[in-house]
Amino acid sequence: MGPRKRGERKRKAEENSAQDEEVADTSGAGKSSERSAGKVVSGKKSRTKGGKKYIGAHVSISGGIWKAVEDSVELGGRSFALFLGSQRTWQRPALDQSAAVKFQKACAQHGFDPTHILPHGSYLMNCGSPKQDVFTKSQAMLVDELSRCSALGLTQFNFHPGASIDSSTEKCIERIAQAINHAHNQTSAVITVLENMSGQGSTVGGQFNELKRIIDRVRDKTRVGVCLDTCHAFAAGYDISKAGGVKSMLDQFDQEVGLHYLRAFHLNDSKGILGCHLDRHEDIGCGNIGISAFRDIVNEPRLDNIPLILETPGRPGFEYAEQIKLLYSLCED
């Protein structure tokens, strides 16, 4: 099984995230124990072009969490994302210490700095849930996720803020901030990185001002950040497909939230149209966002030195490796 299948599984997991309905993901993401084949290119490899851009992909942890590092190297990625455990259960076995050591060794060996690794939270979590049991479980899971990050030597953690279900956005925002403050109290150092959403269902965080309102309520501002997903932004109504669209979105983000909070980007084209509120990722240049936005992104100095992570479905001949290669080919310096 090659990286395409892995990509599909990952996407399927994202599409089935069903945070809104609070149901378990059963897509089987990351079940495969087979390795993707490909030429080994060190993540450390210096580049003549795009040297300040850290492009990578969301890779599987099947067969051992350290294998995510090897997979990223095979793809030619200089950054990567991964889950920190099963997406199917609230009760996850504790992180294996020897696996954590292997992971850290692999990162050091291949030159991946922790700031270029962005773990993604479980889709089961809804820190904005009005249901007390779901909120309590989510809050505990956020603490567990941050503890896993620490054990792996990772410094930041990306998750979907939450969904209000049948309550108000304001209450949802308050609960999310409460869960973050609780997790910050229970752990140390790891930065909680909120992802912008497509606005599907009752998810919160589609509009930048919602992210800002969460950040406003977080006590330790040094431990909160934002990851902007291009597909989610486009689906939420930010038109990055038009000329200058990426620059204006970043300007707006800077005004409404503050660029210093920007920790990462997720690079995904969109199957849906502008403002459709559907979370449907497409391969780079194959969707309604189009290639010129991605050219602007990889040439945008404000996005230097942060992880730029692909979460695209992949297709024959245009898997993660080819999409990473394409994005680097668009870099002008």
Question: Would you tell me which residues interact with Zn ion (CB under 5 A)?
Answer: 195, 229, 266
CA gap 306, 267 in Å, rounded: 12
Residue 311 appears among annotated catalytic residues: yes
Residue 319 appears among annotated catalytic residues: no
Q: Supply the minimum distance, in Å, between the C-beta of residue 279 and Zn ion.
A: 8
Residue 279 appears among annotated catalytic residues: yes
Residue 229 appears among annotated catalytic residues: yes
Query: Which is closer to Zn ion, CB of 125 or CB of 152?
Result: 125
Q: Supply the minimum distance, in Å, between the C-beta of residue 228 and Zn ion.
A: 9
68, 274, 277, 284, 325 from 330: Cα distances, Å? 26, 24, 28, 12, 9
Catalytic residue among 311, 319, 322, 328: 311
Catalytic residue among 281, 282, 322, 328: 281
Query: Which is closer to Zn ion, CB of 231 or CB of 321?
Result: 231
CA gap 61, 122 in Å, rounded: 13
Catalytic residue among 120, 175, 213, 263: 120
End-to-end Cα separation, the chain, in angstroms: 35
**Residue where the block lists tokens 């492009």:** 55
* Tokens found for residue 21: 């309905």
Query: Which is closer to Zn ion, CB of 198 or CB of 241?
Result: 198
Query: Which is closer to Zn ion, CB of 183 or CB of 233?
Result: 233
Catalytic residue among 6, 9, 58, 88: 88
Query: Which is closer to Zn ion, CB of 70 or CB of 195?
Result: 195
Nearest to 3 by CA among 49, 48, 34: 34
49, 301, 323 from 45: Cα distances, Å? 11, 20, 18
Residue 58 appears among annotated catalytic residues: no
Residue 277 appears among annotated catalytic residues: no
What backbone phi and psi angles, to 5 degrees, belong to 55? -90, 135
DSSP code per residue over 11-75: HHHHHT--TTTT----S-TT---PPPP-----TT---SSSTT-EEEEE---TT-TTHHHHHHHHH
Exposure of 279 by Cβ count < 10 A (0-12 exposed, 13-18 middle, 19+ buried)? buried
Catalytic residue among 14, 70, 210, 279: 279
Q: Supply the minimum distance, in Å, between the C-beta of residue 37 and Zn ion.
A: 26
Tally of CB atoms within 10 A around 130: 17
Residue 232 appears among annotated catalytic residues: yes
CA gap 56, 247 in Å, rounded: 22
Q: Supply the minimum distance, in Å, between the C-beta of residue 103 and Zn ion.
A: 21
- Contact assessment for residue 174 and residue 136, using Cβ atoms and an 8 Å cutoff: no
Residue 123 appears among annotated catalytic residues: yes
Q: Supply the minimum distance, in Å, between the C-beta of residue 16 and Zn ion.
A: 12
* Tokens found for residue 160: 């979907």
Q: Supply the minimum distance, in Å, between the C-beta of residue 105 and Zn ion.
A: 27
Catalytic residue among 110, 184, 266, 280: 266
Residues annotated as catalytic (active site), given as ranges: 88, 120, 123, 160, 195, 229, 232, 266, 279, 281, 311
